[in-house]
Amino acid sequence: MTRKRVGVLISGRGSNLQALIDACEEPDYPAEIVLVISNVPGAQGLLRAEEAGILATAINHKSFASREDFDQALCRALNGATIDFLCNAGFMRLHTEGFVEHWRDRHINIHPSLLPAFKGLDTHARVLAAGVTITGCTVHFVRNEMDEGPIVAQAAVPVLKGDTAESLAARVLEAEHALYPHALRLVASGTVRVDGERIIGPDAPNQSPLFSPPL
Ligand code: GRF
């Protein structure tokens, strides 16, 4: 089995990165992480990568005059490591159109809601304010619009009585840690692929794992 060479973009804590690192240790996992880049120097995720023996570097967006310059620096680093596939894991920058086009259909992101609902920031507070009873998380291919693109996999998480944005975020995060490795396996193995804006693959691989904590 040839493993896909994966780059991961982060901005902070890197707990989803850790879930991917742990998954890549499984002998039959179809991907290996070869490079981690943070736009924030000193991000905790960089330490996680280093501890796992993965090349990790910071490319500070603040050192660049424009978004284009920053994205070109990202691309140079990624291409230098011959990356096949790119995962955003808590990467808090919007990409330029050129970057999105370069990585089109080889680039996925995780978002802590059941897309297309609740795109953007402060997701959990908005979920609570809206009074929805089920939320979750989504892994999707990256497109130009924020938190848009063909959906690879989703996990549902109940909103519980008394939830705060923090308690809900923690429960969804647990689901993210199961979902992201599952989704990367689907795309890296070729089980799921994207054709235009349509996902192609076996029936409903994207409905598992459903995440059900004790009620
Ligand atoms: C996650 O909830 C992810 O879905 C969102 O930002 C958070 C990043 O957490 N985009 P971590 O850095 O992976 O711990």
Which residues touch 209 (CB under 8 Å, ≥6 apart)?
155, 178, 179, 182
**Confidence (pLDDT) at 171:** 96
Which residues, including other chains, have CB under 8 Å from residue 159's CB and lie 6 or more apart?
A: 127, 128, 132, 133, 134, 135, 168
Mutate to test the pocket of ligand 1, among 176, 179, 211 (most ligand atoms within 8 A of CB): 176
Q: How confident is the model at residue 95 (pLDDT cuts 50, 70, 90)?
A: very high
- Contact predicate 109/139, CB 8 Å: yes
Quote the percentage of the chain above a pLDDT of 90: 92
Confidence of residue 202 (pLDDT cuts 50, 70, 90): confident
Instruction: Determine the residue type at 114.
Output: L
The answer on pLDDT for 84 being more than 60 is yes
| pLDDT average, residue stretch 118-125 | 98
Alpha carbon of 17 to ligand 1 centroid (Å):
9
* CA angle in degrees (0–180, nearest 5) for 141-146-152: 20
Q: Which of 122, 111, 139, 145 is nearest to 206 (CA)?
A: 139
Q: Is the CB of 173 under 6 A from ligand 1?
A: yes
- Confirm or reject: Cβ of 16 under 6 Å from ligand 1: yes
pLDDT digits (tens, 9 = 90+) for 4-14: 999 999 999 99
110 pocket-lining for ligand 1 (C-beta < 6 Å): yes
What are 150-170's pLDDT values in tens digits?
Answer: 999 999 999 999 999 999 999
When the pLDDT of each residue in the chain is averaged and rounded to a whole number, the result is 94
Q: Active site residue: 95, 102, 107, 111, which one?
A: 111
pLDDT in tens, 50-64: 999 999 999 999 999
Q: What is the pLDDT of residues 36-45, one digit of tens each?
A: 999 999 999 9
CA of 102 to the centre of ligand 1 (A): 24
What pLDDT, on the 0 to 100 scale, is given for residue 210? 53
Query: How high is the pLDDT of residue 1?
Result: 77
User: Is pLDDT above 80 for 204?
Assistant: no
| 157 bridge partner residues | 135
What backbone torsions phi and psi does residue 135 show, to the nearest 5 degrees?
A: -125, -155
* 123 CB near ligand 1 (under 6 Å): no
102 among known catalytic residues? no
| pLDDT attached to residue 215 | 38
pLDDT of 205 higher than 60: no
